Structure 1
Amino acid sequence: MDKKHVDWESLALFITVAREQGLSAAARRVGTSAPTLSRRMLSLERSLGRQLFVRGRLGYSLTDDGQTLLRGLEEVEARIERLTQPRAKIKPTVKISAGSWTALFLMERLHLITGQPPDIKPCFITSEKVLSIRHREAVIGFRNQRPTEKTLVARKLKPVEFAPYMAAEAPERWIKVLVDTPSARWVDREISEEDIVCETSQPRAALDLALTGVGIALLPTFIGDAQDRLRRVHPPIDELRHEQWLVIHQDDRNLPEVRKTIDRIYKFMRNKID
């Protein structure tokens, strides 16, 4: 037996003939003629040294050897199908750089960014520092002022305001955040050490502490006003009011995943509403 003459095409034709149980139907399926299929099946039997079919007036039925071959080939066929199955569509990742408060606001509305069903995968880079969009440290960034770099484009959002918040029955003592931000510097400058109840290195922790009734936290109004357990102690502090801009690189503005992300964020961020 010379196995060099057994090719995958002949085996695939054998599967079709075996399943259709005849030449005419199999020929229509594979787009060839019945005589051609007959010759191919005879050649396959000679190559294998086995009779695969019982040829009768009503069609082709499989011999024991034919049934054994078909079962084996169907196992191979199923394995090939699994190996060549297209991968599920991978959702593109979009890196979003934002400060702690804006990142929190975004994360709580994740479904509005990803879409339903999700078609993008946000990657949040939470930092109080400004990352370089020009050098692709982030794809989308939030800035406190309009960018001056010619390669960047921006959409203006609603201004950000800060006000002090506290829970009912909480002592009128302040929570100090040890980061270099305008709001943290304001607390450091305006609140005496005797009025500081505790310190934290993370802005988000100030919210958590305020919610537990520890003291007063200086929070963005779009965060503080959303907390049912907190109330404003004083009106927003004028000197902490600042603009907010949604920024991307001009080369990325027409990428489908970036455009969708920008549009979705802008839709609910422009007025800081759900």
Structure 2
Amino acid sequence: MSRLDWEDLNLFLAVAREGGLSAAANATGRSPATLGRRMLGLERELGRELFVRHGRGYRLTGEGQSLLSELSEVEARIARLSQRSGIEGLPLVKVSAGTWTTLALLRSFANLVGTPPDIRLRFVSGERVMDIAHREAVIGFRNQRPTDKTFAGRKLAKVEFAPFGAPDAPRLWIKVLADTPSARWLAKYAEGDAVCEVNSPRNALDLALAGQGMALLPTFIGDSEAGLLRAAQVVPELTHDQWLVVHEADRHIPEVRRAIDRMCRVLEGPRG
């Protein structure tokens, strides 16, 4: 271990995350041949077989996966130290959530950051699931329980969807063009009854508030808008659980713990 090169560990992270030498070469600027030699050297130095090599790329062995988890934790700690030394001074917590959960949280922003603020929050809002294992986000909101044993999950209130519109709005749908269960439901059942199509879920809410049609919204959003009424019953097949997910290595960090507790209080309490 005396000859262990920290640069080799960084290159290992690239190969492990990219799944092969060619993709890792693009990410690191090293040639595939160089990366292959460095990975062989790292395996000899550690006395572990880290990869199963095959024609489609490099797959991690169990020992390789363990090393990836260990190095990811070290990487996260270094990132947190860097954040604390920044000019803002407050520890940063990155949060990944869909459009509607982000909107509900932002409406209670002061309750999340504390008075006076003791954390900074960075919201990464969108329908793509961010990679918590690789620290694209520290806290993520999901529609199912995490199965990876390196993640911890906390079950929140169920999420229900229903059509909402202004009292005098036309009974025509505002369709959302997105890869989400609610958008797929609309694509299936509202094919000929759409007054407008948008690619941002939030735009559907804006149009509904303007009285232009019906939007399929989570009830915790639609019921909170004074200008909207439920136009029909809850759509049963869209009802799902909501889970707050965090990496086991991060869950007891003080600022992460505070953010989790505050977000859960917002999302588990009345949202209206």
TM-score when normalising by structure 2? 0.67
Point out where structure 1 has 5 or more consecutive residues left out of the alignment: 1-85
Q: Contact 2:152/2:245 (CA < 8 Å) preserved in 1?
A: yes
Q: Distance between the aligned counterparts of 2:260 and 2:171, measured in 1?
A: 40
Does residue 135 (structure 1) correspond to residue 130 (structure 2)? The answer is no
Letter in 2 for 1:167: A
In the TM superposition, 1:177-256 aligns within 5 A as 177-193=176-192, 195-256=193-254
CA gap 1:189/1:88 in 2 versus in 1, 3 angstroms: closer
Q: What secondary structure is seen at the aligned counterpart in 2 of 1:154?
A: strand
Superposition deviation, residue 108 in structure 1: 1.0
The structure number with the bigger radius of gyration is 1
Q: Distance between the aligned counterparts of 1:172 and 1:89, measured in 2?
A: 49
Match of 1:150 in 2: 149
Residue 258 (structure 2) aligned to one of 251, 257, 260: 260
Q: What secondary structure is seen at the aligned counterpart in 1 of 2:102?
A: helix
Letter in 2 for 1:161: E
Letter in 1 for 2:212: V
Q: What is the number of residues matched between the two proteins?
A: 188
Superposition deviation, residue 273 in structure 1: 3.2
Q: What secondary structure is seen at the aligned counterpart in 2 of 1:163?
A: strand
Superposition deviation, residue 140 in structure 1: 0.2
Superposition deviation, residue 267 in structure 1: 1.3
Q: Distance between the aligned counterparts of 1:173 and 1:89, measured in 2?
A: 47
Match of 2:98 in 1: 99
Q: What secondary structure is seen at the aligned counterpart in 1 of 2:164?
A: strand
Q: What secondary structure is seen at the aligned counterpart in 1 of 2:250?
A: coil
Superposition deviation, residue 192 in structure 1: 2.7
Superposition deviation, residue 271 in structure 1: 3.6
Q: What secondary structure is seen at the aligned counterpart in 2 of 1:213?
A: coil
Moved over 4 A (4+): 86-89
RMSD across aligned positions (CA): 1.6
Point out where structure 2 has 5 or more consecutive residues left out of the alignment: 1-84
In the TM superposition, 1:36-115 aligns within 5 A as 90-115=89-114
Letter in 2 for 1:192: E
Identity of aligned residues (%): 53
